[in-house]
Chain A
Amino acid sequence: MLKKIEILADAAKYDVSCSSSGSSRSNQKGGLGNAASCGICHSFTEDGRCISLLKILFSNICIYDCAYCVNRKTNDIPRAAFKVEELVDLTVSFYRRNYIEGLFLSSGVMVSPDFTMERLIAVARSLRQEHQFNGYIHMKAIPGASQDLIEEAGLYADRLSVNIEIPSEGNLKLLAPEKDFPSVLNPMSQIANRIISNKEERKKYRKAPRFVPAGQSTQLIVGASPERDFDILKLASELYNGKNLKRVYYSGYVPVNTSDSRLPVLQRPPLVRENRLYQADWLMRFYQFGYDEILDDRHDTLDMNMDPKLAWALRNPHFFPVDLNYAPYEMILRIPGIGVRSARLIVANRKWGKISFLHLRRMGVALNRAKYFILCRELPEKGYKLQPEQVKRKLVKSNENIGVQLSLFE
């Protein structure tokens, strides 16, 4: 069992989606567990990532040969597979000890997509039906699995995900010859439509079983293929709007197969780029930015020296300064150095008096950045014009955060 965990956790670790949020499943009398609606981290690994779910592969045996993947069939590595009961027992035992929030189950493709999907479903079914397990279950929908199986998986899982991995169809075909966009996008659409129809059903019959209450997510590998940041954000935005995805994860390519000539040679995974993409993603999800505001065809690459919000502000000096005493929430949200919580606090508290530096600092505003973009008690000057070049020199020089992964993981 130790050996299996070593192999199958190791093989699962490059999948970055670890969040367990977005679902609330209450416990029933005599049942085990519940799903909390805000993600709980049970531990943190030495790479600084949160352990929330038991993230593991059912098996790392795979009949496919994706270039970017450790588990591809042409790699000579130790292989293992769980028995359904073993994995169920492991999940329940870890959960009872409060090591984990639930299970994140994926797998290499054994025999066929359907064969694999059936094994994953057997684990989830046993957890839910035999063990009354109400913890969080995130399951991978194996590309190519039949619609019926995906439907059944959705009845047990809180979240389903189909990973796109390579952000454009051409490169996906090049790197993963057995896969194509339809094999990923079709199950994604099926899940998206089912989530909508399930909501309707539940309006009519409150007892109708829930279908993936925490929605679906996907992962894009960054840096294994030459797509531009602009293409990646555009794709993400289409997934959020068109397919109603809850999360898109970005995973800086970890060079696991160094000898493959289709892949770039990297010393370290592109962590800064990955982080900038997460920041841009946050701007789209929480700061009301469109992907085409963050980048466009002329500026198609995220600046590695500053976060995308600052970059946007410096490209749009006419927007500033913003008067904190009067400006609407949406405008305050666009100021570099001001987050969602700070913006809310500013709007809620300005009726009590003029907002000062001290107040701003206490509300969590990063004044060293924000001060160039705002009017407040200490900065009443109406004639102020933002000088992007000057500000850039000041802010980018003092930015020592490069290379450090910022804390944008939920």
Chain B
Amino acid sequence: MFEIRLQYDGTFDGFLSLVFYAFENKTEPKEIAKPANVSQDLFSEVIEVETHTAKAERVWKGLVNKSSLKNARLISVAFMSELPGIEVLLWRYLKKVFTFPQKDFYQNMLDEDVYQVVQTARKVKKEVHRFHGFVRFQQTADNIWFAPIEPDHDIIPLLVPHFKNRYSGQPWVIYDTRRKYGIYYDTESVSEVFIEYPALDLNTGRLSEKAKGSHEDDYLHLWQQYYNSINIQLRENKKQMTRLMPRRYWKYLPERNR
């Protein structure tokens, strides 16, 4: 049998447009991926689905109606996980939610797909919660607060509400050095930023000498001193520490990466 692989632009709107397309054409995609990731072979056909904001909007509204706004948001959170196969999982899930008669089917944790989606969203939310704490700002010479991050999932958009609220009076940038984009908040509104050559050391996340504000090192040292002093050696439990603050996050935490 001929298999169908669907390709989209990688955005959430693009994915929802694809869902619209698959419903309309009764397509059963074997794979859904971004152009760079889609596999090619003799037995499958690759179809590229265009992004249509209006169609995406209809799928979103339908989802909100068929479940709830909270649940629709959960789907977008699971999508941000960027885990392999997440699109096909969400497609299967959406098909069930749209076709099953019960309005609360999306809460059925005994269902394999519902469980997987909820679990994925939980993973992403957990990372968001962690980064509410692990983001580290440095003051730049031109008085913008800059924080590099490298999360597992694409969580920058999910971090914005918290930091916008907390630092409403200071302009900041949170920048994902792996996905190579960031969010800039100018104390009024937020926008996406791409920085060609960010002025920082990619092994430590520290701003270069020229870029950083004049008090940056002082406060950094005070923080490192505090971090050391507050530890109780008699209670040492490094395993617990690394469980709660995994090694992969240490790079940009100045108290761990000196």
Complex Cα gap A348–B243 (Å): 30
Instruction: Bits for B160-175, please: 1 = Cβ < 8 Å to A, else 0.
Output: 0010011111100000
Known interface pairs A32-B167, A46-B238, A407-B244. Does A2 touch B231 (Cβ–Cβ under 8 Å)? no
Q: Which residues of A contact B (CB under 8 A)?
A: 1-2, 5-6, 9-10, 12-14, 26-27, 29-34, 36, 38, 40-52, 54-56, 90, 93-94, 96-99, 101, 254-255, 268-269, 271, 345, 348-349, 352-353, 355, 359, 362-363, 404-405, 407
Output the least CB separation between A406 and chain B (Å).
9
Output the least CB separation between A27 and chain B (Å).
5
Known interface pairs A32-B169, A98-B135. Does A44 touch B232 (Cβ–Cβ under 8 Å)? no
Chain A hits for B111, CB < 8 A: 352
Output the least CB separation between B210 and chain A (Å).
19
Q: Restricting to B223-258, which residues have a CB under 8 Å from any CB of A?
A: 223, 225-227, 229-241, 243-245, 253, 255-256
Known: A2-B225, A98-B135, A348-B109. 19 other contacts (CB 8 A): A5-B222, A12-B230, A36-B132, A41-B133, A43-B134, A43-B256, A46-B231, A46-B241, A50-B244, A55-B230, A94-B226, A96-B139, A97-B145, A98-B137, A101-B133, A271-B235, A345-B109, A352-B110, A407-B243
A45→B136 contact, CB < 8 A: no
8 pairs of A and B residues whose beta carbons are closest in the complex: A48-B240, A48-B237, A9-B229, A45-B231, A47-B235, A42-B133, A44-B245, A10-B229
Chain A hits for B137, CB < 8 A: 96-98
Give 9 A-B contacts (CB < 8 Å), ordered by A residue.
Answer: A27-B168, A36-B162, A46-B241, A48-B235, A51-B230, A99-B136, A271-B235, A404-B240, A407-B244
Chain A hits for B237, CB < 8 A: 46-48, 404-405
Q: Restricting to B7-39, which residues have a CB under 8 Å from any CB of A?
A: none
Known interface pairs A44-B244, A269-B235. Does A9 touch B169 (Cβ–Cβ under 8 Å)? no
Q: Which of B138, B165, B223 contacts A94 (CB 8 A)?
A: B223
Complex Cα gap A363–B108 (Å): 12
Q: Is the interface of A mostly helix, strand, loop or mixed?
A: loop
Q: Which of B134, B241, B253 contacts A45 (CB 8 A)?
A: B241
Complex Cα gap A75–B168 (Å): 46
Chain A hits for B239, CB < 8 A: 48, 404
Chain A hits for B219, CB < 8 A: 93-94, 97
Chain A hits for B235, CB < 8 A: 47-49, 254, 269, 271, 405
Q: Which of A45, A56, A90, A362 contacts B227 (CB 8 A)?
A: A45
Known interface pairs A31-B169, A96-B170, A359-B110. Does A48 touch B244 (Cβ–Cβ under 8 Å)? yes
Chain A hits for B245, CB < 8 A: 43-44
B111, B119, B222 interface centre (most CB from chain A within 10 Å): B222
